[in-house]
């Protein structure tokens, strides 16, 4: 949802000056040239501009697939989460190992503080060696290992979640970069044509065929379109900086050029996406692993009511005329039952918390999947309406209005209105295309599917 809101907020920055400038460009240039051929130069939605005056964005386009692979390999956030998961895999061996063995050396003197003083003239003087080992109650070490293993499983799912989030953010920014670069080309074309219009309007005014208002409007719109081009360059630079951050590239590296967006079809039904989200969503899997961890923690809390053990063995050597001593000790460490009851109560509460979090996370993910599915399918229908109905109808209407205007059968305001429809619908189509692709990217992240 955050990615979709980000795309929408960026789209909101497109100001009306783009439409006004292009409108003035098209209508005045068509009126000056007096031909309907200019109407055919406006590109179809999703097609490549073919106008000779078109200024293409410099550089070779980079496919989204290449950038995704680069992000998965070089993104520092993904790498950090991967190493955190790998570190967690070493915890089970640590917690399941026996406590450290303790070795000791003893020396006992009689009659003097000096080491070994009186060693041979007292029955009490000796030198001894010993070892001590704590032994947990059977089953405790295995339960501790299982707790750590479930935590490692949760970390693995979180690593996958971070990877998908980074890739999803990369796709969102890439789609908007493609939108900005494509509309920037339209603005650059409009600026070139506007220069011709301004010259033509000034020439008509000098010979008395035009009026000063047309000249001033052309100059004003030329300034506005230059401002819009500068705004687009700013947006392009900001988006490229975000992509380079996600890729782990230096900010001074080469510019990134996006490919032209095309419409992808969603090959999954809502029920399939919901089922895959239940099974494959990393956030849900992480919560499921947390439930298993807390269930094992409850078992361990019960087991901690059992005592632990300690074994010791000591050897003491005295003078040669006295016999050596050998001593074995077996100890039992009794648990504090009050503390263990509190530990068990905490484990049960944590278990219930994990279940509730799992339910909440599952509901959130499934709700997002359903919302993105509805958004994708609705957007797909709207794109079809644009490409098959609204856009060709608006172009036909404009061509008819232009022909009527040239024959003095229609006023100038009607011509402007029909041309405005062409421009508005073209921009709306491009914006809707980015919305559609963003919804598909969210479904790929949430459900773990791949939309070709």
| Residues forming a β-bridge with 309 | 135, 332
Place of tokens 């907020």: 9
pLDDT at 452: 83
Structure token pair of residue 390: 């609204």
Calpha distance 263→91 (Å, rounded): 47
pLDDT at 384: 94
DSSP string, 72-122: HHH-HHHHHHHHHHHHHTTHHHHHTSPPPPEEEEEEE-SS-SSTTTTSSS-
**Lowest mean pLDDT, pick from 130-144, 152-166, 268-282, 396-410:** 396-410
Helix (H, G, I), strand (E, B) or coil at 313: strand
What are 301-357's pLDDT values in tens digits? 999 999 999 999 999 887 777 788 899 999 999 999 999 999 999 999 999 999 999
pTM of the model: 0.78
**Lowest mean pLDDT, pick from 105-114, 154-163, 189-198:** 189-198
DSSP string, 357-388: HHHHHHHHHHHHHHHHHHHHHHHHHHHHHIII
pLDDT at 52: 29
- Residue 263's Cβ-count burial label (10 Å; 0-12, 13-18, 19+) is middle
pLDDT at 205: 65
What are 58-93's pLDDT values in tens digits? 578 999 999 999 999 999 999 999 999 999 999 999
Which spans in 207-307 are helix H? Answer: 212-247, 270-280, 282-303
| Residues forming a β-bridge with 128 | 106, 316
Structure token pair of residue 222: 């030329």
- Other C-beta atoms closer than 10 Å to the C-beta of 195 total 14
- Other C-beta atoms closer than 10 Å to the C-beta of 198 total 20
Between 223 and 360, name the one with better pLDDT: 360
pLDDT at 44: 40
């Amino acid at each position: 949802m955050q990615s979709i809101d980000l795309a929408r907020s960026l789209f909101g920055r497109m100001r009306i000056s783009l439409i006004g400038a292009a409108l003035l460009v098209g209508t005045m240039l068509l009126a000056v040239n007096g031909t309907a051929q200019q109407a055919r130069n406006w590109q179809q939605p999703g097609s490549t501009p073919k106008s000779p005056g078109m200024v293409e964005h410099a550089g070779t386009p980079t496919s989204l697939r290449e950038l995704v692979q680069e992000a998965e390999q070089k993104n520092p956030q993904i790498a950090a989460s991967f190493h955190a998961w790998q570190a967690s895999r070493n915890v089970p061996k640590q917690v399941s190992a026996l406590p450290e063995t303790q070795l000791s050396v003893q020396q006992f003197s009689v009659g003097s503080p000096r080491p070994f003083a009186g060693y041979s003239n007292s029955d009490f003087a000796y030198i001894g060696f010993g070892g001590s080992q704590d032994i947990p109650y059977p089953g405790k070490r295995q339960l501790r290992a299982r707790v750590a293993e479930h935590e490692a499983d949760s970390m693995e799912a979180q690593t996958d979640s971070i990877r998908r989030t980074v890739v999803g953010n990369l796709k969102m920014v890439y789609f908007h970069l493609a939108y900005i670069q494509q509309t920037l080309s339209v603005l650059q074309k409009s600026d070139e044509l506007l220069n011709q219009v301004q010259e033509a309007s000034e020439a008509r005014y000098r010979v008395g065929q035009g009026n000063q208002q047309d000249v001033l409007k052309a100059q004003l719109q030329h300034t506005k379109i230059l401002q819009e081009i500068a705004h687009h360059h700013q947006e392009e630079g900001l988006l490229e900086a975000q992509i380079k951050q996600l890729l782990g590239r230096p900010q001074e590296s080469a510019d990134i050029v996006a490919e032209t967006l095309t419409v992808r079809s969603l090959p999954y039904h809502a029920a399939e996406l919901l089922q895959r989200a239940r099974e494959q969503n990393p956030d849900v899997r992480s919560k499921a692993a947390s439930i298993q961890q807390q269930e094992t923690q409850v078992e361990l809390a019960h087991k901690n009511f059992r005592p632990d053990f300690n074994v010791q063995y000591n050897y003491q050597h005295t003078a040669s005329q006295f016999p050596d001593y050998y001593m074995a000790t077996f100890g039992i460490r009794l648990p504090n039952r009050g503390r263990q009851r509190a530990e068990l109560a905490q484990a049960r509460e944590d278990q219930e918390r994990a279940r509730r979090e799992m339910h909440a996370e599952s509901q959130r993910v499934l709700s997002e999947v359903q919302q993105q599915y509805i958004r994708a399918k609705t957007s797909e229908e709207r794109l079809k309406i644009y490409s098959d109905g609204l856009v060709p109808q608006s172009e036909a209407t404009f061509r008819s209005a232009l022909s009527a205007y040239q024959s003095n059968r229609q006023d100038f305001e009607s011509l402007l209105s029909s041309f405005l429809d062409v421009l508005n619908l073209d921009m709306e189509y491009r914006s809707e295309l980015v919305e559609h692709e963003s919804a598909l990217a969210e479904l790929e992240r949430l459900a773990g599917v791949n939309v070709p």
